[in-house]
Amino acid sequence: MALLALLLLLGSASASASAPGPQWPLQRVPVVWPQRTEERPAPHFLRPAQLELNSSCGPECHKQAPAPSYWDLRQFLSYETLHSSGQLTETAVGIYGFDADAFYTPPAGRSRHRRQIFGPDGRFSIVGQDFLMNYPFSTAVKLSTGCSGTLVGDRHVLTAAHCVHDGKNYVKGAQRLRVGFLKPRQKETSGGNGTGPGKMKFQWIRVKRTHVPKGWITNTGSANDIGMDYDYALLELKKAHKRRHMKLGISPAAKQLPGKRVQFSGFDNDRPGQLVYRFCEAGDETYDLLYQHCDAQPGASGSGVYARMWNRRRRRWERKVIGIFSGHQWVDLSGTPQEFNVAVRITPLKFAQICYWIKGNYVDCREG
């Protein structure tokens, strides 16, 4: 029954195109354009990646924060680029065609507290080559720093910023960062379906460049109130992979998602060597963050949160990455610790920035 529910949620190839359901909203995409690049001192790469984050700002705190100004946004969307040689550069950006009135207060929802696993564990371990090697599960990858990521281009992986940068400096292993692709062991491919946990392995590809927005880099060594909104990074691989990647999309409001649900796959630490899939109801949200009820453990952070909706222009169903799972977040509220699972939403500005990192131009980034 669990497998049947999983297949129904993913949507079969025979789904009727004549009866579309929830549709991708048409949104105007601004332009985030690099203007000036300067070299910065080389990082230290001393501390290991932190897979759990601490913050003093929860959903209500984020909702009450004032909307950033145009100049604030330019600062937050400026970015650093770490090269595999150890060279570090900082790029200032300009923003064009963005409507400041786009910042809104999303409808209030209910947030879960106190556990990373909410009630019975609702995660599925994906087994069998027929599933693991096919889309969309084949888009999930593992980072050598312990996080997960999602293929969003022929050479590009979307992940969480805290997987490579702790808010103060780049983490240990970020310069020689590798991305792991789950593959069957050669001796196991000829017979059976490879369903055993020991019949898969990772093939690793080195990262050439890493882009991190300045909104995440707080220089305090911890994730601050603003930094949480920018917990994303893009990795460029040294060589192209041969898998189908997932399209990038602008996050709709939670109430517009099919069944108000989101889904993602990652490599949770408590199930080593296994790809873990989950789907759950989206809960509270702010303009930049989506609080949800998905069961997850450290290691899943950096996974791409995605949805499947109808593209009215192309008249077909499409899955798109609409957020990055930031992970399990401790929030200190008046001395009382509370827990949330949170994802960073891909807003129009973030879409424009990430898409430019992938495409190298804004012409191919006009549809989110």
Asked if 295 is an active-site residue, the reply is: no
How far is Cα 351 from Cα 368, in angstroms, rounded to an integer?
7
Torsion of CA 4, 6, 9, 12, to 10 degrees: -60
How far is Cα 197 from Cα 76, in angstroms, rounded to an integer?
42
For 222, 289, 292, the CA distances from 257, given in Å and listed in that order, are 32, 15, 13
Helices (H) and strands (E) in the chain, counts: 5, 18
Residue 179, CB-side half-sphere exposure with 13 Å CA sphere? 31
In 3D, which of 345, 223, 249, 246 has the Cα closest to residue 292? 345
Positive or negative: CA dihedral 120, 278, 197, 127? positive
- Kind of pairing between the strands at 53-55 and 124-126: unpaired
The stretches of the chain forming alpha helices (DSSP H) are: 2-10, 59-64, 70-77, 129-132, 348-359
What contacts 6, CB < 8 A, 6 or more positions away? 124, 277
Residues of 27-53 as b/e, b for ≥16 C-beta within 10 angstroms? bebbbbeeeeeeeeeebeeeeebbbeb
Residue in 162, 241, 245, 328 annotated catalytic: 162
Asked if 165 is an active-site residue, the reply is: no
How far is Cα 276 from Cα 288, in angstroms, rounded to an integer?
25
Residue in 111, 301, 303, 326 annotated catalytic: 301
Residue in 83, 154, 222, 225 annotated catalytic: 225
Residue with tokens 């593992």: 142
What contacts 338, CB < 8 A, 6 or more positions away? 58, 113, 114, 330, 331
Asked if 162 is an active-site residue, the reply is: yes
Cite the active site residues: 162, 225, 301
